[in-house]
Amino acid sequence: MEFEQAWLDYTKKASCKGSEDIKYICVKTRGEEQDELIKNGILELQRAFAGILGIELTVCQNLGEGHGICLTLTEGIQTEAYHVYENKGEITIEASDSKGILYGAFELIRQVRIGNPLGGLDLFKAPKMPMRMLNHWDNMDGSIERGYSGESFFFKQDRILVDERTVTYARLTASVGINAVVINNVNVKDAATWLITERYLDKVKELSDIFAGYGIKLYMSLNYAAPIELGELDSADPLSEDVRGWWKRQMELVFNRVPNLGGFLIKADSEGRPGPFTYGRTHADGANMLAEAAAPYGGKIIWRCFVYNCQQDWRDYKTDRARSGYDNFKGLDGEFLDNVILQIKNGPMDFQVREPVHPLFGGMTQTNQMLEVQIAQEYTGQQRHLCYLIPMFKEVLKFRTYVQEQDDTVEDIVSGRTFGQHNCGMAAVANTGDDANWTGHDMAAANWYGFGRLAFEPELSAEEIAKEWIRLTFGIDKQVEETLLFMLMTSWKAYEEYTSPLGIGWMVNPNYHYGPSVDGYEYSRWGTYHRADHMGIGVDRSREGTGYALLYNEPNASVYDDKEKCPDELLLFFHHIPYTWKLKSGKTVIQHIYDTHFDGVDMVDEMVERFMKLEGILPQKPYLRMVERFTHQKEHAREWRDQINAYFYRKSGISDEKGREIY
Ligand code: GCU
C-alpha cells in the first residue's frame, strides 16, 4: 500500500532566515559510540534540510569555520529534554541522552518548517509526562477494532509486518515525542495470545529494534488467561505458585529475546476478557503477579480500569456503570507494586463527546496512574466527521481534583507532580491504519500529532498545536491556516451540538457506534441509559440517585450533586431533569436541545463553505478526499439533528419556540 509522509513531508520548499550558511553537521559525544538515535537524528536533519531548503548537510568531525549544526551530548539535562539554540550562526542541539538529541533534531526541523528564523533561536524543552503512549487496537488478522482508516500496518493474516511503513510510522510518532507504543488490541484473542511465544518473538524483536532507534518502547497487550489458552496450565489464578512460576519463565523468555520491550498492557475482567475475578482474587493480585515477573527486566504492567458490569438490566436504577471503575479500584489504592500503572479512561463511561473527568483521578493517592484518551473517534464521528479533540483533552488535564490544595489537576497527577511518581503519563487509542494518509480523514492526523505534542508539552494551547500541524502539513499560507484553524477549533463544539445533548452521551447505533439512534442502547445490558420519558431526561447520579456525584472530592461533589450548581454541559449526566427546566444559559432544556441541534448543523455548513474555498490552494489529492468527507458530514449532521429533535419533540410535546421544521 502506498503511504504519504503526513506532517513529515519534506518535499515542500520553504525559506528559513539564518539557514543560508549552514553546510555541516557534527556530533560531540562524551566518548561513547553514536547510537541509532543519533544516527537517525542526523539522517532526519539531512533529509529535511535537503528537501525543504536544498541544503546538503555534510557530516564532519568539527564545525571549525563552516557554519552548521552540532549535536552535543552533555551532562545535567533531564532525560529526554533538549536545548536547541543559535550562537554566531551555529546551531547547537544539546541533551544528556540521545533521545533528547533526536527530539531536538525534530524540534529544529519544526522550527524551520513553521517559518521561525534561526537567529536568536533558544528553546529548552523537557517532556512533562514520563510516558507518552499510543495504544493500537490492531488484531493479528489485520483488522483494527474501532479502526477507521484501513487495515493494520503491524499485522496481516497472523503475521507481523516490518517494512518501510514501519520506519515512517516510527519517525512520525517520535517526531511528536511519543515514547511508547502498544502494537496489539487490548482484547487479546487467538493468534495475539501467542505474541509472547517463540512463534513471534523474532519479528517482535525486529519491530522493537526499529522503534528503539526512534526512542520508542514497544509494548504488547497480554491475554490474562495465556497460561490456559496456550495449553500449558489449567488455571490462571494469580496466587497459584504454578501460575506465578509460569509467568516468571515466560517473562524471562520474552524480555531476553526482546530487550527493548517496555512491558504489557492488560484488559482484565472487562467486557468478557478473563481476569483474576474468576479465582476470587483482586485486580491487585493479578497485576502484581505479572509485575513481579516483569520487574527483573524493568518491565511495566499497565492495568486498565475499564471494568464494569456489562450484563445490566435497564430497570435497575441503582447499578451505575459510571461508578464501577471507582468502586473496583479505589479500595486497592496502595496495593499495587511500583511497576504497575493503572490506566484510566478520561471519563467514567467510554470516550463520549462529553463526560465528567474520571473520579479515580483524585480518588487514588498511592497508585501510579495514566490517563487514557481515544483519538480513534469511535464516538466522535469515526474520522468521517471532523472532530479535533485536543481542546477536550486540555479540559481534562486542567480539571482540578482537589486531592490536595495545589498541584492537584489531572495533568499534575499524570505528570508525577502530585504524588512524586515517575511511572505515569498519558496514552491514546490510536487512529491510524494503512490508508495512504494514515488517518482516513486528512485532518484527523491533527489528533495524532496533537496528542503527542500535548503529552510532551501540555502547556501548549490547542490553537498553537493546530497551527503547527497546519503549517507542517500544508505549508505556510494565510488563508489555509485561517480556514483550517477555524475548522479544527470549531469541530468538537459542533459535534457536541448536533449529537447527544448536555453530557448524556450515547444515542448511537449499537455495536458500530455511528449515527443517531436515541434508544439504541436504552434497553440493552450495557448500562448506558438516558432515561428519557415524557417529562424529562437524564440519569440521577446525585445522592438521591446512584450517589456517583459524591465520589469526587469537595467542592466538586457538592457542585455535581446539586442541579442548581451543576454545569449545564454535564447536567443530564448527573441529574434527571424536566424538559421545562431553565438552564444557566436561560434556556429550557428542550429549547436548548432544539437550538444546539440547529446551531451545530449551521456550524458544519460554515466550516464546509470555508473549506470549499481552498480548492486550487490545497493539493488536489487531500482536498478531494476531504471534500468527500465534508459532504458526508453535512448530510449526516442533518440526520443527527432531525432524529434527535424529532424524538424529543414527540416525547415532550413541546414545540420549538422558533417554529423551525422538526419532523
Ligand atoms: C469500548 C469499545 C471497545 C473496546 C473497549 C475498551 O467499549 O467499544 O471496542 O474494546 O472500549 O476500551 O476496552
Per-residue pLDDT band at 15 (split at 50, 70, 90): confident
How far apart CA 405 and CA 400 sit, in angstroms, is 10
Q: State yes or no: is 151 an active-site residue.
A: no
What is the predicted pLDDT for the residue at 174? 98
User: Mean pLDDT over residues 39-63, rounded?
Assistant: 94
- Ligand 1, residue 145: give the atom nearest the CA: 9
- Ligand 1, residue 187: give the atom nearest the CA: 10
Is the pLDDT reported for residue 9 higher than 70?
Answer: yes
- How far is ligand 1, taken at its centre, from the CA of residue 641, in Å? 26
How far apart CA 59 and CA 69 sit, in angstroms, is 10
Pocket of ligand 1 (CB under 6 A): 145-146, 186-187, 267, 306, 350, 378
How far apart CA 635 and CA 69 sit, in angstroms, is 51
What is the predicted pLDDT for the residue at 33? 85
- How far is ligand 1, taken at its centre, from the CA of residue 458, in Å? 26
User: Mean pLDDT over residues 203-214, rounded?
Assistant: 98
Encode pLDDT of 217-267 as tens digits: 999 999 999 999 999 999 999 999 999 999 999 999 999 999 999 999 999
Is the pLDDT reported for residue 64 higher than 80?
Answer: no
Select which of 350, 372, 435, 561 is catalytic.
Answer: 350
Per-residue pLDDT band at 67 (split at 50, 70, 90): confident
Encode pLDDT of 128-180 as tens digits: 999 999 999 999 999 999 999 999 999 999 999 999 999 999 999 999 999 99
- Ligand 1, residue 374: give the atom nearest the CA: 12
Q: Is 80 left (phi over 0), alpha (psi -120 to 50) or beta?
A: left
How far apart CA 298 and CA 296 sit, in angstroms, is 6
Is the pLDDT reported for residue 292 higher than 80?
Answer: yes
Encode pLDDT of 366-410 as tens digits: 999 999 999 999 999 999 999 999 999 999 999 999 999 999 999
Encode pLDDT of 534-549 as tens digits: 999 999 999 999 999 9
Contact indicator for 80, 127 with CB cutoff of 8 Å: yes
Percent helix, strand and coil across the chain, each rounded to 5? Answer: 40, 15, 45
What is the predicted pLDDT for the residue at 65? 63
CA 576 to chain centre: 31
What is the predicted pLDDT for the residue at 19? 87
Q: State yes or no: is 350 an active-site residue.
A: yes
What is the predicted pLDDT for the residue at 32? 84
Select which of 232, 234, 242, 271 is catalytic.
Answer: 271
What is the predicted pLDDT for the residue at 18? 86
- Residue nearest (by alpha carbon) to ligand 1 atom 7: 350
How far apart CA 530 and CA 576 sit, in angstroms, is 9
Contact indicator for 53, 16 with CB cutoff of 8 Å: yes
- Ligand 1, residue 270: give the atom nearest the CA: 13
Pocket test of ligand 1: the residue of 271, 371, 375 to mutate, having most ligand atoms within 8 Å of its CB, is: 271
Pocket test of ligand 1: the residue of 182, 302, 308, 378 to mutate, having most ligand atoms within 8 Å of its CB, is: 378
What is the predicted pLDDT for the residue at 153? 98
Per-residue pLDDT band at 66 (split at 50, 70, 90): low
Select which of 44, 107, 237, 378 is catalytic.
Answer: 378
The per-residue pLDDT of the chain, averaged, comes to 97
How many residues appear in the chain?
Answer: 663
- Residue nearest (by alpha carbon) to ligand 1 atom 11: 350
For residue 565, what is its C-alpha cell? 450548581
* Poorest-pLDDT segment among 2-16, 488-502, 584-598: 2-16
User: Mean pLDDT over residues 556-585, rounded?
Assistant: 98
Say whether pTM exceeds 0.85.
yes
What is the predicted pLDDT for the residue at 16? 87
Phi, psi at 443, each rounded to 5° = -80, -10
- Ligand 1, residue 345: give the atom nearest the CA: 12
Q: How many CA atoms lie within 13 A of 481 on its CB side?
A: 13
Pocket test of ligand 1: the residue of 139, 143, 146, 375 to mutate, having most ligand atoms within 8 Å of its CB, is: 146
- How far is ligand 1, taken at its centre, from the CA of residue 271, in Å? 8
Is the pLDDT reported for residue 443 higher than 90?
Answer: yes
User: Mean pLDDT over residues 20-25, rounded?
Assistant: 92
- How far is ligand 1, taken at its centre, from the CA of residue 617, in Å? 39
- Provide the percentage of residues in the chain whose pLDDT is more than 70: 100
Q: State yes or no: is 271 an active-site residue.
A: yes
Per-residue pLDDT band at 127 (split at 50, 70, 90): very high
- Ligand 1, residue 186: give the atom nearest the CA: 13
Pocket test of ligand 1: the residue of 224, 306, 374 to mutate, having most ligand atoms within 8 Å of its CB, is: 306
- Residue nearest (by alpha carbon) to ligand 1 atom 10: 187
Encode pLDDT of 73-86 as tens digits: 999 999 999 999 99
